[in-house]
Amino acid sequence: MDLTVHGVCPHDCYDTCGLDVVVRDGAIERIRGDREHPMTRGFLCFKVNRYLERLHHRDRILYPMRRVGPKGSGEFERVSWDAALTEIARRLGEIQTLHGGEAILPYSFAGNMGILSSSSMDARFFAAIGASRLDRTICTATATAVLRQMFGQGLGPDPETLPQNRLILLWGTNPMATNVHQIPLLDEAKEAGAKIWTIDPLYTETAARYQPHLAIRPNTDAILAMALGHYLIEHHLYNAEYVKQYARGFEAYRETVAPYSIERAAESCRVDPDQVRILAESIGTSRPLLIRPGYGMQRQRDAGLAVWAVSALAVITGAFLDEGGGLLISNGDAFPLNLPGLTRPDLAARLTRSINMIELGHALLETTSPPVEALLVYNSNPAATAPDQSRVLRGLSRDDLFLVVHEQMMTDTARYADFVLPAAMSMEVLDLHVSYWHRYVQLNLPAVPPAGESVSNPELFRRLAHAMGLSDPAFMESDEDLIRSALDTAHPYLTGVSLESLYQQPVQKLRLEKTSRPFVDTPVFTHDGFVHLEPLAGLDPHDDDPVGFHLLSPSRRETIKSSFANLPSFEHREPDPEILVSEKDAASHGWSTGQWVRLSNAHGETRCRIQVSSVPQPGTVVSYAVRWNSAAQGTNINQLTSDRLADFGGGATFYSTWVQIDPEEGG
Ligand SMILES: Nc1nc2c(c(=O)[nH]1)N[C@H]1C(S)=C(S)[C@@H](COP(=O)(O)OP(=O)(O)OC[C@H]3O[C@@H](n4cnc5c(=O)[nH]c(N)nc54)[C@H](O)[C@@H]3O)O[C@H]1N2
Ligand SMILES: Nc1nc2c(c(=O)[nH]1)N[C@H]1C(S)=C(S)[C@@H](COP(=O)(O)OP(=O)(O)OC[C@H]3O[C@@H](n4cnc5c(=O)[nH]c(N)nc54)[C@H](O)[C@@H]3O)O[C@H]1N2
Ligand code: SF4
Ligand SMILES: [Mo]
């Protein structure tokens, strides 16, 4: 008989879907979208519709393994958990004694977004051993920092109110690939008469579905948004009363945007000034208005300025006053979990140094006092996803670096490890999930036991703590205890949400009224309780493009970064790495579809096949992120990206990349 278990999609995605995991004879038979879940609505995406391919993949790691070949060769032998833990504990202990705990660095991100999987026992472990702290900046750091500065937190309207809007700006986001459960809501808004703009340098599937599309030159969003703000003020299309009552810094804002005219912006952004004027009028006169930026525009060097200028439009128009309206970048701060109780920073003897994950290559090769002697990677695949890849790979190749990787798959990073430890899949473990987009808390129940000898992330760190002789009761807590700790709060948004109630009802809405208006009905968490409009100090837009083609490497529909890129269904669709070029650039350089080219810049080089396409504008080229290095010639597109930080908040600048394209000999 079939048994259906409630699961939660663990991948780094806005939608955090509810899953029906169907078990037959002790094995997972099917994974479907939860029909009862109001956001999931019974359907899943291209990726998770094929999940059994991932669950039972040939690359899946089922046993602990020790390296026997040279670093990066992927040659391993199977060992017991005991042998692996004893040796790892011995090496980490030795490094602690010789160099201090800071010579040990964790490296993780959102491979599994479960609360226990992403930051619980691991955080306790690294605090207790005095490891360096990792600044987890690779995805959203810049947007998060700007939102904190302006509003004190990342909170947006409930996405379930999206259809109430009459003007929606999809700004630097491609939900047809990255947020597919937003599509029915956008369609509903459109049917009810909403105008939906897409502001994206690329003619994405989203731009094709919703018109108009403003194809701006990459990294010119700040200029566009400042010109729109200037126009709204000049034409008295802003909400002076709202600004006066709720915001600070308006005069400084007005002065900063004053030099930006519609004409100047149109020239910088390479768009039609009449189209910008239509957009400005529309913003000034349509309500409710929702500005829905994605993370795409904040992977540029002027990211902070862009997020500030775009967010300011939602403030000066008073868009927050309407139900459903305002600004939705993230709802991540809507969930008031007890994070200190869960992660226990008090276990650290002192605050250790912090290393920005974007600068991993630098940290591995150049950091001293102490150098990084051990790296523990989980929930992430930096050999494929970190910028400045050639430096990262050189760092991972260091003979004297002790590298432990906890993984589900033999990834590009795992191939460099001294020990690879098997990680369970989400359908095999207990976890608690929240979303950075919607407002549901969910319990993920194990449908089957962990495959082979794989263990969950909290179990790995429990075992490591034990092996290293850490005896604090914090390391004895079970997964259920950890969930209880996370939910141990008196915050009204979580009233009645407990482990017990989640066992009864594994999908629960946050106790925050759907109709509540962020920063009108909820507090503003800045130091003075006002929204802050004043500009980020000392920032000016770069209005020039270095030489070469502007390379964008945004999300791909069929994968999540490197996850899923080893599935046969993907490899079949795109056997070789591709670079999309405009028809005009292809014609002027004599390139044709299928031809191999070499992409290079000061950081590195990689090879792709040309795909002539209507997606990019001339001057811009696209290669979706990211393929496995081992599936190409040992490299991918991150050979070309730099570890330069954005202008604010320490975020990444993956999309501020310029490349030279040359025909490949014999290509
Ligand atoms: N299928 C799929 N879903 C995913 C992911 C995935 O890899 N695949 N990744 C997940 C993760 S980790 C994240 S962070 C989210 C990200 O999802 P999104 O928020 O959608 O962000 P990106 O995919 O980074 O980029 C979105 C769009 O920004 C555009 N863009 C690039 N530069 C600029 C610019 O300068 N200005 C403007 N206006 N637009 C620009 C790109 O052309 C792209 O179409 O998606 C998550 N969901
Ligand atoms: N060129 C380019 N590079 C990019 C980006 C881009 O747009 N362009 N986007 C950046 C962004 S937004 C992000 S968020 C990063 C993401 O970069 P990564 O954090 O490296 O994300 P993934 O490639 O999805 O790798 C996650 C890994 O975690 C593993 N995993 C999954 N579940 C578990 C688990 O429960 N336990 C353990 N131990 N492991 C697990 C998966 O098998 C997978 O190998 O990439 C960044 N890199
Ligand atoms: S990847 Fe996103 S859309 Fe796909 S199942 Fe997971 S949460 Fe849902
Ligand atoms: Mo991300």
How many whole angstroms separate alpha carbon 577 and alpha carbon 561?
Answer: 14
List, for residues 492-549, the tens digit of each pLDDT value: 999 999 999 999 999 999 999 999 999 999 999 999 999 999 999 888 899 888 899 9
- Mean pLDDT over residues 405-413, rounded? 98
In-domain check, residue 59: no
3-class DSSP state for residue 497?
A: coil
User: Tokens 């029915």 — which residue?
Assistant: 184
Nearest CA to ligand 2 atom 40: 379
Cα 481 versus chain centre, distance: 28
Inform me whether the pLDDT recorded for 667 exceeds 70: no
Question: Tell me, what's the pLDDT at 544?
Answer: 83
Residues 400 and 474 both lie in one domain: yes
Could you tell me the CA-to-CA distances from 255 to 491, 530, 533 in Å, in that order? Answer: 40, 20, 11
Nearest CA to ligand 1 atom 19: 294
In 412-563, DSSP assigns E strands to 419-422, 431-433, 440-444, 507-509, 531-532, 549-552
Residues 382 and 480 both lie in one domain: yes
Question: Tell me, what's the pLDDT at 208?
Answer: 98
What is the CA(202)–ligand 3 centre distance, in A? Answer: 23
Residues 189 and 118 both lie in one domain: no
Residues 405 and 484 both lie in one domain: yes
What's the CATH number where 578 sits? 2.40.40.20
Residues 153 and 82 both lie in one domain: no
How many whole angstroms separate alpha carbon 115 and alpha carbon 53?
Answer: 25
- Of ligand 3's listed atoms, the one at least distance from the Cα of 15 is 7
Residues 378 and 399 both lie in one domain: yes
What is the CA(296)–ligand 1 centre distance, in A? Answer: 4
In-domain check, residue 501: no
In-domain check, residue 204: yes
Is residue 238 very low, low, confident or very high in pLDDT (cuts 50, 70, 90)?
very high
DSSP 264-320: HHHHHHTS-HHHHHHHHHHHHH-SSEEEEE-SGGGGSTTHHHHHHHHHHHHHHTTGG
In-domain check, residue 436: no
List, for residues 602-634, the tens digit of each pLDDT value: 999 999 999 999 999 999 999 999 999 998 889
Residues 569 and 639 both lie in one domain: yes
Residues 218 and 340 both lie in one domain: no
Q: Which long-range contacts link 523-531 to residues 24+ away (Cβ below 8 Å)?
A: 524/151, 524/152, 524/246, 525/151, 525/152, 525/153, 526/149, 526/150, 526/151, 526/152, 527/152, 528/248, 530/246, 530/247, 530/248, 531/150, 531/151, 531/246, 531/247, 531/248, 531/315
What's the CATH number where 95 sits? 3.40.50.740
How many whole angstroms separate alpha carbon 628 and alpha carbon 411?
Answer: 8
Question: Tell me, what's the pLDDT at 160?
Answer: 98
**638 near 561, Cβ under 8 Å?**
no
Last residue of a domain, one of 489, 511, 537: 489
Residues 169 and 217 both lie in one domain: yes
Question: Tell me, what's the pLDDT at 632?
Answer: 87
What's the CATH number where 150 sits? 3.40.228.10
Question: 235: domain range?
Answer: 145-329
Last residue of a domain, one of 299, 329, 359: 329
Contacts of 307 (CB under 8 A, 6+ apart): 142, 143, 146, 147, 293, 297, 298, 329
What is the CA(113)–ligand 1 centre distance, in A? Answer: 18
Question: Tell me, what's the pLDDT at 666?
Answer: 59
- Of ligand 1's listed atoms, the one at least distance from the Cα of 294 is 19
**197 near 210, Cβ under 8 Å?**
yes
Contacts of 43 (CB under 8 A, 6+ apart): 33, 181
How many whole angstroms separate alpha carbon 163 and alpha carbon 192?
Answer: 8
Last residue of a domain, one of 295, 329, 363: 329
Number of structural domains (the chain) is 3
- Of ligand 3's listed atoms, the one at least distance from the Cα of 46 is 4
List, for residues 629-655, the tens digit of each pLDDT value: 998 889 999 999 999 999 999 999 999
- Mean pLDDT over residues 432-452, rounded? 98
Nearest bound ligand to CA 433? 3
Q: Residue type at 654?
A: F
Average pLDDT across the chain, whole number: 97
List, for residues 32-77, the tens digit of each pLDDT value: 999 999 999 999 999 999 999 999 999 999 999 999 999 999 999 9
DSSP secondary structure letter of residue 407: E
Residues 194 and 273 both lie in one domain: yes
- Beta carbons within 10 angstroms of residue 73's beta carbon: 11
In-domain check, residue 8: no
List, for residues 368-403, the tens digit of each pLDDT value: 999 999 999 999 999 999 999 999 999 999 999 999
> Residues lining ligand 2, CB < 6 A?
10, 12, 109-112, 117, 138-139, 378-382, 385, 406-409, 411, 423, 457, 553-554, 560-563, 625-626, 637-638, 641, 654
List, for residues 198-209, the tens digit of each pLDDT value: 999 999 999 999
| Residue from 174, 298, 380 whose mutation best tests the ligand 2 pocket (most atoms within 8 A of CB) | 380
Residues 409 and 323 both lie in one domain: no
DSSP 70-102: STTS--EEE--HHHHHHHHHHHHHHHHHHH-GG
| Residue from 12, 20, 47 whose mutation best tests the ligand 3 pocket (most atoms within 8 A of CB) | 47
